[in-house]
Chains A and B, each alone.
Chain A
Amino acid sequence: MSNPNHGPDAYLREEMLPEMPPPARETGMVKWLHENLFSGPVNAGLTVLGLLIVWFLFDHFYPWFAHSVWNASSLPECRKIIAETWGEGAGGACFAVIRERWNQYIYGFYPPGLYWRPTLVFGLLFVALAPILFSISRNIRRIVLMTAAIATLLSLVALNTPSIWLGVAVAIFAVALLVAERHQMWLLGFSAFYPLLGVWLIWGGSFWWIIMILAGMGFGWLAFIIAGRLSPLLAGSSAIVVTLLVWVFLSGDAAKDAENLYSLAITRVDSEAIGGFLLAITIGVAGITMSLPLGIVLALARRSDMFLVSSLAVIFIEFIRGVPLITLLFVAQLLLNYFLPPGTSFDIVLRVIIMVTLFAAAYMAEVIRGGLAALPAGQYEAADALGLDYWKAQRLIVLPQALKISIPGIVSTFIGMFKDTTLVAFVGLYEPLKNISDAVRANIEWKGIYWEPFIFVGAIFFIICFSMSRYSMYLERRLQRDNR
């Protein structure tokens, strides 16, 4: 190949060199070990020290786990079995307490004949969440719904669910699986109805209450349409006013009358009976779903141009964050009743949920505010320049990006809040970690058992929190890929 621009002795590579394999030190196991564990004397020393610590822990705890007993009816019996098998003085775990009392850890003092109700509610949670959490991938949605359906139906059969309800459960799951294939957005209708259904199934009572609550919203919607004809500003407020009026003045009596005419009631269960993970998950799920929207509103309010709005948001957030959650829970337990009209009794679990929600929402607001601040000003300007109004710009441009940035913080807040549900122990509710364990130990058979319940409860908390963390990583990766 001759090159007119260069003289005869100019250098020109005529052939490309082939690729060569890297030296052995630079690949595989050897490279990894060298780089990560033994790259220098300090590093090598730390590696050895780490291994020693791991060995020490393993050596200490392994026998305890290895000697564990799952079949016994009391702690003394456990000890006897361990002594007989492993010799006098050998230590061992007595997980038999979990086998015997798992139901209290899961359901608290819920009537055993009705265990199927919260179980069904938990199973349906996945149907309600599917179109929200797993909207991106049909495959994952299918897997989640399938697993939830099979696990729930098997549990329902094992828990002697009445056949009508078994039928209902089968029907809901079947429809959900079908709908999720093509029209997953329709499932959002179920998600909206789910909280009412869940509350009714867990606490029981008359279904007419649910119908009347829905009727109130229906009237509110009517008011929205009618008032909207007159002025769009009036529409929202009149919808809220009408809904509240119907709830306060009509729903109660109407539900009672309807119940007398035709009963749609299932057995009522008191809040005191609700405990264990049923309680923790109820508070957690309710708090999570309500604190996110509230946190968004607070974050937007705090950044608002309107002085009154932003100062109210700042006061609320700083006050709630400045006070320990326990204080708020005590307020929920003792003080809230003073502010309510005499004669109204306000369910303790509901009060606790409200406080936990407010607490989490304050943290959520700050996390989301961080996301909002991270958004370049150009995004706001472009939205403005296109003529989008404030709410549309927030909803379509700002929040999708700000929330995506905030995912790790949001999920951390969720996880922290879910673990904080154990603090309701201080207002006498039977959360799994302390009060249920105390209740179990109060029996003569299990007096003195200590570590095993903690390990069991801790493991379940870990599984739930770890799943949330994995989900957030999945979501981040997913959104990342879309925007590359």
Chain B
Amino acid sequence: MPTPGTSTDAATIAPIPADLAEWLAGRVAAYLDTTADAIDRDLPLAEYGLDSVYALSLCGDIEDTLTLVVEPTLAWDYPTVNAMAAYLRAEIERPAAT
């Protein structure tokens, strides 16, 4: 299984959103058909009824936008927007593995 934090292709890195939590809340909101400010960033996503398996799809968005390969279970291990954002921030800032 690919390891977290392995960036896919350094050459194609798109601009990384400055406010990761804001960006994530936007993605979650899209799945819930609502707006980003309606998302409490400290509430577990499951509370919104976001099916836990569906939350896996978030990792596709992350891969696309942040060019970070993350475990599909990211949203399980970091169940709130803020927790996930903090984790992603740390991963981005970590020097790329070979």
Q: Do A and B come from one complex?
A: no
| Chain A residues proximal to chain B, CB less than 8 Å | none
